Structure 1
Amino acid sequence: MTTTRTSPARHRSLGDQTWQDEAVCRSTEYNPVDPDIFFPEPDETDKITTAKSLCGQCPVRRTCLDAALEGGDTDGIRGGLTEEERGPLHERLASRLDYSRVNATIAGRDVHLTQAERRAVIHAAYHHGVSEQRLAWLLKITEEHAQKRYREIRRAERNRDLDQPTTNTPSPDTDSECLGRDDFGTAA
């Protein structure tokens, strides 16, 4: 029987560039890599293929892609994707919702978050009983701002509960007869 181990996602912390030391594209004395292959012209398919094959071997490929997207880097091949392939990802970045990033933030890591992920952190923190002070620290916001976010969640949940339709079903214990339309009289 073969077991597969999935390692936890390694998310880049705020200001962290140490992931670049593990990149396959980093040129060293023993591994000379021409950086020009990562900036090919659209018709240079050999360079594109070579760069993508290097990216395919890279242990920090996902981190590289995240850094390119979060930094707005639209030039060259990053994270195994060309400029054209990253285009749609750049457009959808603000709505990205990766729960592994949310969980890493709740655990105390300083992770780059999108607006959707920040909202998810606030909801997760609220439902897990994280204090307002801790939420403020996690998101690098003021305690007053954290209190405001928690108030918004409480209000939204209260309103959601009020909007739930209530059904008046007769209890199975009672021997009530089924009432018809004529049993209620007429409206005045």
Structure 2
Amino acid sequence: MGEKIDRRIVKTKEAIFQSFMSLIAKKNFEDITINEIAEQANINRGTVYFHYQDKYDLLNKCIEENLNNIVSVTTTTDADGETIDLIQSSFLPVIQYFEKNHSFYASMLSNKGIPVFRDRMLELITTHIKIHINMDGDNQNYSKEFITQFMASAFVGVIEWWILNNMPQSPEDVAEQLWGLLKRNQVIN
């Protein structure tokens, strides 16, 4: 039998998260206080500290949860319980996830006090590209690490541009163009 989740804890954490995100959209991370987070969430500051060590812990948990969500939209399991990597067929679920969570990603990428978010997103994409890169053909003359860093930086840069410019192209167009560029560069088969 699974562990029962207390709905009050879930609601409280959601209120803290929403308060935090609302504040990040308005001001620099370094200027945000636990008091402000608690006040906006309409809870006691001790409640914030009950769930998080400090605002850095809260930030890390928010980043971790959202990056894990990116991974979860890229994988599924088959009838045998084996993991299937959906990235083999399309980037569309990932791009649609970014669109659905635009305000979070726009806040994280535009707030100068949070360079760790972009770094962790780049690390996630780098790991994923390294797994899928094809080192045959044109790529055999290059360093795998060099190509991986180049393509991961390009991918994150395009996503950052798209999000911070209020998604000027549809998710379908972005997914198709990214897929084509990565395929052309043998990052995906």
TM-score range, shorter chain: 0.3 to 0.5
Q: Which has the higher contact order (CA 8 A, sep 6+)?
A: 2
Structure whose CA Rg is larger: 1
More helix by share: 2
TM-score normalised to structure 1 length: 0.33
TM-score normalised to structure 2 length: 0.33
